[in-house]
Amino acid sequence: MPPLLRDALPFLVLAVAPVVATLAGADWLVPVFTRMVVFALAAMALDFILGVGGMVSLGHAAFFAVGGYVVGIGSQHVAESTPTPFGLPGWDDLLISLPLAFTVGVLIALPFGWVSLRTRGAYFIMITLALAQMVYYGLVGLTSYGGDDGISMWWGRNTVAGAALPNRLALHFLCLGLLVAAFVVLKRLCAAPFGRVLDGARQNEARMRALGYRPLPYQIGAFALSGGIVAVAGALMANVDEFVSPGMGHWTISGELLVIVILGGIGSLSGAVWGAVVLLGLEEGLKEITEHWPILLGPLLVVIVLFARGGLTGLLDRLGSRRTQGGDDAGGA
C-alpha cells in the first residue's frame, strides 16, 4: 500500500463511518467513533516521543486527566455562577478550554520531562508512572470537584464561540479536524531539524553531543508538546462523555495508549490512528458478544502483534510491497 494511502485511509474511515452510522439510524455509534479519534490523538502524541525520541512514558494519563479537569472545572463554575479559586470567572467555550488545556498540559509536562529525562530505560518508565500517580491521587483529593466521583457535566458540553454544537456528529468532526491538524504538525516536526535531533539522540546520544547538539532541551520540548496534545485529547474526551473523574488519570489509560501505539506501529503517526480504530473497535464489538470481553481481547491482540510485526502499518506496507512485486513479476513474464 502506498504510504500516502496508508496514512490517509484511517482518517477517511473515521470521516465516513459516523456519517454512514447516522444515515443508517445507528447514531449511538457516533460517540464510539469519536472516542477512537480522541484516543488516536493522545496515542499519536505518545508515539511522537516514543517512535522518534525513544521515550517510553507510562505517565501520559496524567495529562489526559488534567485536560479533562480543565473542561470540568471551568464548566462547573459557569453552571454554578461562582468564580474559580483564582478569582477568575469560569469558562465553557472550547475556544478557551482547548488552548487552556494545552497550556496547562505543557506546564505540567515540562517539570515532568525535566525530572524523568535525567534517567533512562526502566527508570524513566517508572518515574513517569510515579509522577502520573501523584496527579491521580491529587485529583482524588479535589473534594470541591467531586473527589473520587468526579464531575458530572449535567449542563452539557462546551460551546464553540458561544454557539452550542448541534449534535454529536458536529463534535466528532471537530475532534477529527484537530486530529488531522496534529498529524500534519507532528509529521512536519519529525522531518524538521528538531525531529532529526530527537531521532539522532534516540539512536546514539553520545554521538549527537559530539556533533555539538544538546539533546536534553529537545527531549524536554518534545515531552512538553506531547503532554499538551494529550491534555487537549482529555479536554475533548470530557466533552464526549460529559463527565470527568480521576479515573482518566489512572495508569491503565497510559497502558492503553501504549498498546494503541504498539498495535499501530511504533514510529508511524498514522499507526496511532490505525491502532485506536482497531483496539476500540474490537472492544466495542466484543462487548456485544460477552461481558467477559477482555478474555477474548487479550489473545486477539497477541495474535495481531505476532502476525503484524512492525504493527498494522508494517503489515500494510508488506502487503503492498508483495502486490507490487507480484505485478512486476507478471509484467516481466
**pLDDT value of position 301:** 81
Amino acid symbol at 164: A
The reported pLDDT for the residue numbered 85 is 84
Q: What is the pLDDT of residue 267?
A: 84
Question: Quick one: pLDDT at residue 66?
Answer: 96
pLDDT for the residue 88: 81
- Three-state secondary structure call for residue 243: strand
For the chain, list the strands marked E by DSSP.
Answer: 151-152, 243-244
* Of residues 175, 138, 136, 157, the one with CA closest to residue 39: 175
CA dihedral 189, 8, 96, 19 (to 10 degrees): 180
pLDDT tens, per residue, the chain with 333 residues: 666 777 888 999 999 999 999 999 888 899 999 999 999 999 999 999 998 989 999 999 999 999 999 999 999 999 988 988 878 888 999 999 999 999 999 999 999 999 999 888 889 999 999 999 999 999 999 998 999 999 999 988 999 988 888 889 999 999 999 999 999 999 999 999 999 999 999 888 888 888 888 999 999 999 999 999 999 999 999 999 999 999 999 999 999 999 999 888 888 888 899 999 999 998 888 888 888 788 888 888 887 777 767 777 777 777 666 665 555 555 554
Distance from chain centroid for Cα 99 = 16
> Which of 104, 134, 140 has its CA nearest to residue 246?
140
pTM of the model: 0.92
Q: Is 330 exposed, middle or buried (0-12, 13-18, 19+ CB in 10 A)?
A: exposed
Element spanning 327, H or E: helix 311-332
Distance of CA 31 to the CA centre of its chain: 16
- Angle at CA 231, nearest 5°, toward 196 and 244? 160
DSSP-derived secondary structure letter, 308: S
Residue 187 makes CB contacts below 8 A (sequence gap 6+) with 269
Q: Residue 135: what pLDDT?
A: 94
Query: CA-CA-CA-CA torsion for 214, 217, 220, 223, nearest 10 degrees?
Result: -80
Identify the pLDDT of residue 139.
94
Give the per-residue pLDDT at 129: 93
Contact 274, 262 (CB under 8 A): no
C-alpha cell at 125: 518508565
CA distances from 97 to 22, 70, 73, 166, 232 (A): 28, 7, 10, 18, 9
Would you state the cell numbers that stand for residue 53, as one nine-digit string? 525520541
Q: CB–CB of 222/53 below 8 Å? A: yes
In the prediction, which pLDDT does 44 show? 95
Contact 20, 13 (CB under 8 A): no
Q: Is 244 helix (H, G, I), strand (E, B) or coil?
A: strand
